[in-house]
Structure 1
């Protein structure tokens, strides 16, 4: 449904002749008003409002209105505003939405408008399509395994060697933790995010996307589900019903509530997970299949800043993005909330201000940078992938569908979404 709404809205943008922007000067003596849309938690909203205030102090003729939503409603809201010719001047989007929004003419080319000389050029390329710089990465992420070291050592267990551990090692270690705690603490929680499947498939040399379609084989999808089923069957982790309760929010996770020793989340979520648990959390490489030549782990922009193609204030919008990615003052406020800064100078300036958890992320990212796969921009329709994969995965884990049928159904539905 979200995909249909977004596609319909963006199609309206593509054919609309009305050049309406999300902001106007408000009729107040040459002042410029920008609307900046973004999603996230309450803590992100507070950080962002502080950053906006700092920008306005440096740019007294520009007012920035933060248009905040939770993630579940963000894209529907953005699509509706875009369809109405009232797109925010500066929009946050994910990598999954880049091809969608750029392909339908909703985004402006930022090349030459935002200074990018100090940004990581390999990451910057992940905002380019058809030779145009439609998006500026806010920061970078990866998808690691996270472990509660305090809980692990409390039960007399050692930290795994993440350079050599396998999926079987991970399940065995998790199973042992569940048993030792008398099922008061689970060995691991698991995550149905496509990033987890992407890592798993990457170890087999399969990309998640290839030539505008899903690049995964049915067998790899079924084997990933078998891994999740084994976690449940061995009681290394809880059943599907329990995992459904925790949702996809870090603050509700078993890791954050000290009910799990292991779990996989985005690296920039370590700080929130650590604060929730109040314990010592560490990042590890994801386990590997025996004989795998690649880790499957990959670098990805946490999100992007983009400028609406309909804005009347592209210069002011670019100035705001430039501040957010290039100014150490903004970096010191936002820190790693939108991923670790891709501007090396900003990262160096704020390193001492990062929380202990964020400093761990910085060190971890530096240690594995040579093992990460290049960034790949998903095709149009990828915004729906998480929902499609979750439905298929739940159907298998709840016993409502056989893996063979579910894999075929997933690929059919996913490729249909990508072909729209």
Structure 2
């Protein structure tokens, strides 16, 4: 994933001094008697079409407001956002993700939305994940979880049974995946895997450790090394492919082994289940992640898929707030966007759109309900977390490709990560 590089982070430092909003005052920026609100977001062509439909629905209900969508692909989104902000052209409404919340809030870029957007019907625990130092800088668009996804048909074709996900261990998972690979005639792997920090966060939670603690890395070197040992065991037992193949297929949903029927298991965000199922042309299901021996929890957690935020410098705050309120509270918006930005946390919206959800999304909704009593708390990462995925990937690849020992790589990861977090 593209992250904010050092130069871009420096650019962010200038935001509070230079940004002056997205054009004119009060409910300024009016054209033809209408207030124009710029809304920045990233995603696929499909997301763009859904968003444009939601914008049209909002404008129909609010004929004095024009929403101008400022769409980017993921790779260029944050660099573009930082540049616009530093140039005094910050979008009025901005999409950001959890890794960037503390960064943007800390630079004075975001408005405190407490009491500005109706949050009564939103999941209050999830809502807290939009807070930094007690201020509500962000409204979650919806939630995801990071489960194990399984193609039951592939498991059963190999003559095996889908495990009980309330009790299976990492050893059970690897042994089962190895058997499936052996019976796959060289066409099917037991599992694919990835290096997403969510995977390590979950694995660490099983050991009672947090990814972040007191603004720094909360992981022990031993837990990081044991996680790498787990990945190495998947490779060495041929439960899954080697690091080179996963480097090619492990980052994009449409290239996922699950999406091409070349794997029985794999871990992806829950809102990717529909795309994976569509690619496979088969039903896929969600399971809790396996546990470490002796663990009392699978470490599952909910995370905002992304947030809606409003520029602290906007001079069109009322119109921007109405738009955000519409996106998270209006069943019409929910019926258009569905689970594209995560499963809605507004219970009334979920009830209204339930029948419109795809079969895969229905499974996600049921799965999230089934694990709610087991969830680890949502933690907003500290400033600098935008770079964490790249730092972790470099360290992980150095181990999996045999370029560094686990001891050296773990020390290097913690040192580099903490240096980034304390900038």
Same fold (TM over 0.5): yes
Q: 2:239 aligns with which of 236, 255, 265?
A: 236
Q: 2:128 aligns with which of 125, 129, 143?
A: 125
By how many angstroms is 1:6 displaced? 3.5
Tell me what 1:104 maps to. Answer: 107
Tell me what 2:329 maps to. Answer: 326
Q: 1:8 aligns with which of 10, 13, 28?
A: 10
In 1, Cα distance between the equivalents of 2:255 and 2:48? 19
By how many angstroms is 1:23 displaced? 7.5
By how many angstroms is 1:70 displaced? 1.8
Aligned length: 419
Secondary structure of residue in 2 paired with 1:2:
coil
**Greater CA deviation, 314-323 or 294-303?**
294-303
Q: Deviations over 1:126-170 (max 9, x none)?
A: 111222110000011111000011212222221111011000000
In 1, Cα distance between the equivalents of 2:347 and 2:73? 30
Structure 2 contact 20–89 (Cα < 8 Å) conserved: no
Secondary structure of residue in 1 paired with 2:258:
coil
Tell me what 2:150 maps to. Answer: 147
Tell me what 1:370 maps to. Answer: 373
By how many angstroms is 1:5 displaced? 3.4
5+ long unaligned stretches in structure 2 = none
- Aligned residue runs from structure 1 range 170-181, under 5 A: 170-181=173-184
Structure 1 stretches of 4+ with a deviation exceeding 6 A read none
**Greater CA deviation, 281-290 or 33-42?**
33-42
**Greater CA deviation, 68-77 or 95-104?**
68-77
Structure 1 contact 5–76 (Cα < 8 Å) conserved: no
Structure 1 contact 222–404 (Cα < 8 Å) conserved: yes
TM-score, normalised on structure 1? 0.97
- Aligned residue runs from structure 1 range 307-318, under 5 A: 307-318=310-321
By how many angstroms is 1:187 displaced? 0.7
In 1, Cα distance between the equivalents of 2:77 and 2:44? 12
Secondary structure of residue in 2 paired with 1:238:
coil
By how many angstroms is 1:44 displaced? 1.2
Q: Deviations over 1:162-215 (max 9, x none)?
A: 011000000011111111012211111101000000010000001000000000
In 1, Cα distance between the equivalents of 2:372 and 2:144? 11
Is 1:280 paired with 2:283?
yes
In 1, Cα distance between the equivalents of 2:283 and 2:372? 23
Q: Deviations over 1:353-397 (max 9, x none)?
A: 100000000000000001110111110000110011011111111
By how many angstroms is 1:246 displaced? 1.4
By how many angstroms is 1:247 displaced? 4.3
Q: Deviations over 1:210-252 (max 9, x none)?
A: 0000000111001000100000101100011101111412111
Structure 2 contact 21–92 (Cα < 8 Å) conserved: no
Q: 2:225 aligns with which of 218, 222, 225?
A: 222
By how many angstroms is 1:21 displaced? 2.1
In 2, Cα distance between the equivalents of 1:56 and 1:153? 50
Change in 2 beyond 3 A, CA 1:173/1:22: farther
Tell me what 1:259 maps to. Answer: 262
In 1, Cα distance between the equivalents of 2:404 and 2:4? 24
Q: Deviations over 1:104-141 (max 9, x none)?
A: 10000111211111111111111112221100000111
By how many angstroms is 1:87 displaced? 1.1
Is 1:20 paired with 2:24?
no
